[in-house]
């Protein structure tokens, strides 16, 4: 929650016009290999210089993600291709023009405006509905309501209250002695083998739950901490599904012998170099979706039973998704 608040607190930066991307910058290569602070700051500051006719600062904030980088990596088909800031610029422009982006941006602005509202318990029922619509877990919402009632200070904004509540909530969390077994699936990941999984599905009489995620995708981390790793969700998954996390930004080189050349829907040949590129291509080509988190339930006949995305980010919604998929797979 605190990461969300920190993100939203910088959304209304003053806009500076830079115009269209200049030729020199367009051809400048982006060094994604170096992890130094200086290089990271250079990349971020350069991308923020895109602010102008095509982007405002909120556009940049929302579009700057590891999902964007993964898509750029997959778009490169030649062995010696490198990513330039021009590639980043035009890929961001492409993503911005998608219909879902304007909705996402509008929702972000609404959230920011909500955080500036007074946290007055007299308006709690209306504010509670907003938090439910935004996908917060019902137990956490009830705790926030009790906290606001106890504070009884309408001069505080929701940004103030949620920051304070988050600090208390984190300090009171009890660390479990034994982590849930679902975590092992994230640490001991094998190369995705669809045929082997289908055979396993038949033998165990369980559907397959594919989870497309990313090491640095913020929404995935939120989903995992607030939903996936909660016992009532993890228990259902581990008892009833063959759970397979697939990282779209895994930069491990594909082993020799694995098919690395694939054909796009438009007929062009694409060369996949890493496990992440292979996973990302599979997600896009099989499910026509490139967002993370993304879940797909498949039966032993390789039929897609049901899919889910970040909109299922509450325990109640996601457990319902799992139960519906399980019920459908058994028919």
> Tokens 């098919």 appear where?
259
Contact 279, 250 (CB under 8 A): yes
- Give residue 91's pLDDT band: very low, low, confident or very high (50, 70, 90): confident
- What integer pLDDT is reported at residue 195 of this predicted model? 93
Integer Cα distance of 279 and 272 in angstroms: 10
- What integer pLDDT is reported at residue 11 of this predicted model? 36
Whether residue 13 has pLDDT greater than 50: no
Six-digit token pair at 316? 């109640």
- Give residue 273's pLDDT band: very low, low, confident or very high (50, 70, 90): confident
- What integer pLDDT is reported at residue 320 of this predicted model? 94
- What integer pLDDT is reported at residue 8 of this predicted model? 40
Residues 125-143 have a mean pLDDT of 80
For 65-69, 171-175, 215-219, 226-230, which range has the lowest pLDDT when averaged over its residues? Answer: 171-175
- Give residue 70's pLDDT band: very low, low, confident or very high (50, 70, 90): low
For 98-102, 146-150, 187-191, 311-315, which range has the lowest pLDDT when averaged over its residues? Answer: 187-191
Burial of 212 (0-12, 13-18, 19+ CB in 10 A): buried
Could you tell me which residues come within 8 angstroms of residue 207 by beta carbon, excluding any fewer than 6 positions away? 201, 240, 241, 242, 297, 298, 299, 300, 305, 325, 326, 329
Whether residue 235 has pLDDT greater than 60: yes
Whether residue 223 has pLDDT greater than 70: yes
- Average pLDDT of the chain is 80
Whether residue 291 has pLDDT greater than 60: yes
What does the pLDDT look like over 245-272, one tens digit per residue? 999 988 888 888 776 787 766 677 878 8
Whether residue 210 has pLDDT greater than 90: yes
The pLDDT > 90 percentage for the chain reads 23
List the one residue out of 137, 291, 327 whose CA is nearest residue 229.
137
- What integer pLDDT is reported at residue 180 of this predicted model? 79
């Amino acid at each position: 929650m605190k990461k969300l608040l920190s993100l939203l607190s910088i959304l209304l930066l003053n806009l500076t016009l830079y115009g269209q991307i200049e030729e020199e910058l367009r051809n400048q290569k982006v060094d994604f290999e170096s992890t130094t602070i200086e290089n990271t700051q250079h990349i971020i500051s350069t991308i923020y210089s895109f602010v102008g006719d095509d982007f405002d600062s909120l556009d940049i904030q929302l579009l700057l993600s590891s999902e964007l980088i993964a898509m750029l990596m997959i778009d490169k088909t030649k062995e010696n291709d490198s990513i330039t800031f021009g590639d980043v610029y035009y890929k961001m422009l492409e993503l911005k023009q998608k219909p879902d982006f304007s909705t996402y941006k509008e929702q972000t602005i609404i959230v920011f405006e909500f955080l500036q509202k007074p946290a007055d318990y007299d308006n709690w029922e209306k504010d509670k509905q907003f938090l439910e619509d935004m996908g917060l877990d019902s137990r956490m919402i009830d705790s926030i309501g009790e906290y606001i009632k106890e504070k009884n200070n309408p001069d505080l904004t929701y940004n103030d209250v949620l920051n304070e509540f988050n600090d208390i909530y984190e300090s009171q969390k009890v660390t479990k002695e034994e982590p849930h077994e679902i975590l092992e699936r994230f640490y001991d990941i094998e190369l995705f083998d669809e045929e082997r999984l289908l055979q396993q599905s038949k033998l165990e009489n369980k559907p397959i739950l594919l989870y497309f995620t990313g090491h640095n995708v913020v929404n995935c981390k939120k989903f995992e901490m607030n939903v996936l790793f909660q016992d009532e969700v993890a228990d259902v998954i581990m008892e009833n599904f063959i759970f397979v996390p697939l990282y779209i930004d895994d930069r491990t080189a594909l082993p020799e012998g694995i098919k690395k050349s694939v054909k796009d829907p438009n007929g062009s040949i694409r060369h996949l170099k890493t496990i992440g590129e292979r996973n990302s291509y599979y997600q896009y080509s099989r499910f026509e979706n490139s967002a993370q988190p993304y879940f797909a339930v498949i039966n032993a006949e390789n039929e897609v039973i049901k899919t889910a995305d970040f909109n299922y980010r509450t325990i109640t919604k996601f457990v319902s998704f799992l139960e519906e998929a399980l019920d459908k797979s058994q028919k």
